[in-house]
Structure 1
Amino acid sequence: MSQPSSSASNGTNQSVPTQLDTAELNRELVSIFECPVCYEYVLPPIYQCHRGHLVCIHCRPKLTCCPSCRGSLRSIRNLAMEKVANAVFFPCKNASTGCVLCLPYPEKLKHEDICKFRCFPCPCPGTSCKWQGLMDLIVPHLTQDHESIITLQGEDIIFLATDTNLPGNIDWIMVQSCFGFHFILILQKREIYHGHQQFFAIVQMIASINDAEKFLYRLDLSCPKRRLTWEATPKSIYEGVTEAILSGDCFVFDTTISDIFSDSGNLAINVTISKRNS
């Protein structure tokens, strides 16, 4: 009498886990971490209400009771869920704009800061523009929706800021294209305290932080027998310029200096973009 094949028996009675099973399990686990308020993910440190419901650390300070059971919110740490979170791969928050990566949560947070599918707000300061979009769409937005912004070609150009002697807060913006990249010159006039105004000038590069560090920009104010120069690394669009302006990490000068270098309120700024020496 012939014996049944052991390999045939194993193939009939046992199932082998597949990659699809693992992916499906991860999706099920990820769904457990969805915040019921903002629908982002609840990431460590994870706190729960007295019945075990979760809410993310960003929404929790805004709530007076649990959004799921209306019970009281207490500082109960859910260590078990934090351990589970360490084993889950969370999708990048930019999945809706094209990112397909799923990462452990510490790597997810770092990745999202530099993700190429990240959406950026309009870089124009002092406006109520609510536009947001991918990096490649920033310059088309500026040129199409902000008619006062001019675009100049070349690594060494002169930008003319007009009516700098007018009172109040004023912004001037210029897009400079060279070396295959776009650079944004931002010039702001702000009242620092009553009766005292200052100018802040900085160049932002529409590129990654690594690309921005490969370049230098120089801003020159000049007139007969005088020259005032600022040189620095451009700020990446990923960094923004607000903090640099607030901390004075940019070209700063007051109205007295502006009057020296301007002609009837028109201030010429020589903007030079150069590559760093390798």
Structure 2
Amino acid sequence: MATVQEDLASEFECPVCCNYLEAPVLQCRNGHVICANCRAKLTSCPICRARLGNFRNLAMEKVASTLMLPCNYSVFGCAVALLHTERRAHEEACEFQPYSCPSRLASCKWEGSLEQVMTHLMKSHKSIATLQGEDVVFQATDINQPRTRKWVMIQSCYGHHFRLLLEKRVKWDGHQHLYAIVQLIGTRKQAERFSYNLKLNGQRRRLTWEGKLSSMHQLIPLEIRNSDCLVFDPCTTQLFADKGNLSIHVSIRMV
């Protein structure tokens, strides 16, 4: 049986996205409420089709500020309830937030729990290699292709799975660079336990990078923009490539 708190919380769900409402709470002229994010995408009320203005429901905003609302990831198992002022910080670090597909393919919109990630990969992305061990060698093929491209590998060790991403993209200065980074398919707290080392070997040459692991929940574009990964340009690539293929030695260690 639902509690009074649960019944009240259900009244604060946005009818479009189903997330809980927080200030500003907007409404149509007939009193139907909607969250600010969805209001920006609509011109008419999703309930009565009346034209939407920018009328705020101050009474609901005040009540919402006192409610203990479930985490948005409760459907994935999180049992925490918090005030709206605390929910955003919690949800950014919540261990139950869904994982996107590690393939980094724009065409794959899959999301699911941590336990479902590898099952999804093995079923839908069989071409992605999964290598076992703390020290592995990943080979990126056709590295000299001029277009933007991504290479992905999964490494399994220490009872966890890690994603190596090698991405070729154009920097802000108009020049093409390659970026290599390793992330844990797991929570931010778990990622703090590991570091990684990337190494390129050539004739009398060696290029290495050692960094702390981040969780796959953290945004790849942000880490690339900050150059917080192994970065090298096409000229450097030619010093280490062999017939258009590039071997990257990957080591993961517990810290």
Both structures adopt the same fold (TM-score exceeding 0.5): yes
- Structure 2 residue identity aligned to 1:239: Q
Aligned ranges for residues 1-278 of structure 1 at < 5 Å? 24-192=3-171, 196-276=175-255
Residue aligned with 1:59, SS: helix
Distance apart, 1:170 and its partner CA: 2.4
Structure 2: distance between partners of 1:103 and 1:185: 35
Distance apart, 1:121 and its partner CA: 1.4
TM-score, L = length of structure 1 = 0.81
Q: Render the CA deviation track for 1:29-83: whole Å, top value 9, x for unaligned.
A: 1122122322322112323344543210111112224444555544444332222
Q: Render the CA deviation track for 1:140-163: whole Å, top value 9, x for unaligned.
A: 322332122111122222212122
Q: Is the CA contact 1:221–1:270 (under 8 Å) kept in the aligned structure 2?
A: yes
Distance apart, 1:217 and its partner CA: 0.9
Q: Is the CA contact 2:22–2:65 (under 8 Å) kept in the aligned structure 1?
A: no
Structure 2: distance between partners of 1:194 and 1:106: 40
TM-score, L = length of structure 2 = 0.88
- Aligned pairs, how many? 255
Structure 2: distance between partners of 1:169 and 1:139: 26
Moved more, 165-174 or 66-75: 66-75
Q: Render the CA deviation track for 1:85-125: whole Å, top value 9, x for unaligned.
A: 12222222223333333322223333333333322110212
Moved more, 224-233 or 88-97: 88-97
RMSD: 2.4
Q: Is the CA contact 2:195–2:211 (under 8 Å) kept in the aligned structure 1?
A: yes
Q: Is the CA contact 2:195–2:212 (under 8 Å) kept in the aligned structure 1?
A: yes
- Structure 2 residue identity aligned to 1:154: G
Larger Rg: 1
Q: Is the CA contact 1:122–1:132 (under 8 Å) kept in the aligned structure 2?
A: yes
Residues 59 and 183 of structure 1: CA distance in aligned 2, closer, same or farther (over 3 Å): same
Task: Give structure 1 stretches of 5+ with no counterpart.
Answer: 1-19
Q: Is the CA contact 2:150–2:168 (under 8 Å) kept in the aligned structure 1?
A: yes
Q: Is the CA contact 1:162–1:266 (under 8 Å) kept in the aligned structure 2?
A: yes
Structure 1: distance between partners of 2:43 and 2:140: 50
Residue aligned with 2:130, SS: strand
Structure 1: distance between partners of 2:49 and 2:142: 57
Structure 1: distance between partners of 2:119 and 2:44: 45
Q: Is the CA contact 2:28–2:52 (under 8 Å) kept in the aligned structure 1?
A: yes
Distance apart, 1:192 and its partner CA: 4.7
Structure 2: distance between partners of 1:134 and 1:247: 28
- Structure 2 residue identity aligned to 1:261: F
Q: Is the CA contact 2:133–2:155 (under 8 Å) kept in the aligned structure 1?
A: yes
Distance apart, 1:240 and its partner CA: 3.4
Residue aligned with 1:80, SS: helix
Residue aligned with 1:271, SS: strand
